[in-house]
Amino acid sequence: MSAITTATPTVPVDFPRTLADLRASGWKSRSVKDELRSNLITALERGDELFPGVIGFNDTVIPEIVLAILAGHDLLFLGEKGQAKSRLMRMLPRFLDEWLPYLDVPESPVHEDPESPITGPGRRAVENQTPEDVPIAWWHRDDRYAERLAPGTKFADLIGEIDPARIVGGASLGAEEAIHFGLVPRMHRGIFAMNELPDLDELVQTGLFNVLEERDVQIRGFPVSFDLDVTLVFSANPSTFNRSGKVIPQLKDRIGSTVRTHYPADRASGIAITRQEAGLELNGAHPVRVPPFMDAIIEEISLSARRSPYVDHESGVSARFAVANWRAMVASAQRRGIMLGESTSVPRICDLAHLHSTAAGKLELDLMGSHQLDERRVLDAIVAEAVSTVFREYVDDDGLDDIASIFGKGIRIEVGDLVPSASYAGLLERVPEAWTKAMEVNRADDPAVRASCVEFVLAGLHATDRISRSERFGKTIYESEA
C-alpha cells in the first residue's frame, strides 16, 4: 500500500472490462469496512508502518485507530488544532483495495457495486443485459475519499436536493430520478470525512444521523432508500464538541469510536515533527545549519505558549505555529548569509525577532487571562520563557554570575541579524569568559556557529535576569542591569 498521491495511476490493461470477466476473475464484493479491516490485518501481519510520517502517536492514537477499524466503526478524531487529525483521516484510504470495480453506467450517480447496484440505472444495466455486455470500470483508492469543512456546508451539499429541472422533465417528487445527490451518497463504497463537525448546521447533522443509522437518504421528506455503503469520519475540537447543543445527541451516539489526539508528548518528538513538516532544503546553494539549542527553543516556544495563562487553552497551539516559526528563523538566517556572503548561515537568537509575523493569528488570547495584553507582548513573554528554559538545560549555572559582573564595568554589546559572524569575536574580546562559556554550548570552529552560541549565552543571561537588553534601530543591546 502506498501513500495518497496527487495523480491517479492508470488502470492496468489486463483488468476485467465486463461483468462476465469480473466474475470469472474470482472477485468478490465486500463492504468498505470489511475492506479496511482486511487490508489493515494484512498490514499488521507484514509489520508495515501504518501511518508513515505521523510522529509521536505509536503508543496512543494509532492503536485506537486500529481497534476502530477492526471493530468496523465510523470514527471521530477529537483534538485541538494542529494535532494531525486531518492528516490521519486522509491516510485511511491506504487501507482500501488499490482498485475497485464498478458498473460503467453514465446515468448512475454513484460507483455501483457490480453485484449489488443500488440505483435504478445500475439495476437496469444488470437486469437488461447479459454479463458479457455489462461494462466495468475501475475506481482507484485515492479517489474514494472525499472531505468537507463544516462551516457553510448545506444539506444539499452533503445529502442532496430535489432537482427542479428533473421535475420539469416529468420526474416524480418521490422518485429517485428527481434527486441530485450530495457528497455522502456519491461516496458510496468510499470514505467521507467531515472536518469540524460541531460547526455543521443541525439540519445537516440530522441528515448524517440518518445515514449512520439507516444508511439511506431522505430529502425534503421524501424517503429514498439506498443501501449506502460508506465509512464516515469526523473531526472536532473538544471545546466545541462537548459543548451542549453543538452536536445532536443522536449523532454522537451513532459514532462508533472516538480517537483522542494530542500534542507531542516530548520536545524531541515536536522537533522531529517541525523539521519534517517545514520541508526546507538546508543544503542548497545557501546552506543553513541549525544548532540543537535553536531547534529546542523553537519547540519550547510552542510548549510555553500551551502553558501560558494568556493563551486560550481550549483553542490550543497548533503544530503549524512551530513550523511557521522554524521556517521564519531559517529564512532570516539564510537572508543574512546571502546578504553578507557567508558560506553557511546559522540561526541566532536575533532571528527570533521576526516571529511576530508568523505568530500573528496563530495564538488565540485568553480574554480573561491576558489582562488586555496584545499578541506581541504575549509572544515576547513566551519567547523569553522558552529561551530561559532551554538556556538552563544547556548551560551550567556555575560561573554565569562572573560573566554578568563584567557587564557591570560598562561593557555594552550590540548584536543584530545583519551583523557578520566574524564580528562577534571582536565584540567579545573584552569578555573572554562569555566567549568561553558560549563555546561550551556547541563546540565548533565555524564563526557562524560561534556567533549563534554567543547570542544564546547573552540571551540566556538576560532571561535569567543577569544583564539587561534593549532594542534600538534593529539592533539588540546587552549591558549591565542599571
Task: Indicate the average pLDDT of the chain.
Answer: 87
CA–CA separation, 442 and 454 (whole Å):
10
Confidence at residue 218, expressed as pLDDT on a 0 to 100 scale? 67
Confidence at residue 138, expressed as pLDDT on a 0 to 100 scale? 97
For the chain, the first-to-last Cα distance in angstroms comes to: 65
Average pLDDT on 198-219 reads 81
User: What are the tens digits of pLDDT across the range 138-166?
Assistant: 999 999 999 999 999 998 888 877 776 66
CA–CA separation, 141 and 111 (whole Å):
12
The yes-or-no verdict on residue 124 having pLDDT over 80 is yes
Q: Contact 36/163 with Cβ under 8 angstroms?
A: no
Confidence at residue 398, expressed as pLDDT on a 0 to 100 scale? 67
Report in angstroms the alpha-carbon separations of 70 from 14, 74, 275, 311, 312.
Answer: 32, 11, 33, 38, 36
Q: Domain locations in the chain?
A: 31-96+144-260, 267-480
Confidence class for position 434, pLDDT limits 50, 70, 90: low
| CATH fold for the domain made of 31-96+144-260 | Rossmann fold (3.40.50)
CA–CA separation, 383 and 385 (whole Å):
5
In terms of DSSP bridges, do strands 230-236 and 413-415 run parallel, antiparallel, or are they unpaired?
unpaired
Confidence class for position 178, pLDDT limits 50, 70, 90: low
61, 25, 70: which is closest to 43 by C-alpha?
70
pTM assigned to the model: 0.87
Beta strands in 214-320 (DSSP E): 217-219, 222-224, 230-236, 257-260
12-18 long-range contacts (CB < 8 A, ≥24 apart) are 12/99, 15/99, 15/101, 15/138, 16/101, 16/136, 17/135, 17/136, 18/131, 18/132, 18/133, 18/134, 18/135, 18/136
Confidence at residue 171, expressed as pLDDT on a 0 to 100 scale? 66
Query: Within 13 A of 179's CA, how many CA atoms are on the CB side?
Result: 29
CA–CA separation, 477 and 163 (whole Å):
70
Confidence at residue 3, expressed as pLDDT on a 0 to 100 scale? 41
User: What are the tens digits of pLDDT across the range 283-325?
Assistant: 989 999 999 999 999 999 999 999 998 888 888 899 999 999 9
Confidence class for position 7, pLDDT limits 50, 70, 90: low
In terms of DSSP bridges, do strands 475-480 and 413-415 run parallel, antiparallel, or are they unpaired?
antiparallel
The yes-or-no verdict on residue 282 having pLDDT over 80 is yes
**What single DSSP character describes residue 142?**
G
Looking at the chain, the whole-number percentage of residues with pLDDT higher than 70 is 89
46, 43, 58: which is closest to 3 by C-alpha?
43
Confidence at residue 219, expressed as pLDDT on a 0 to 100 scale? 66
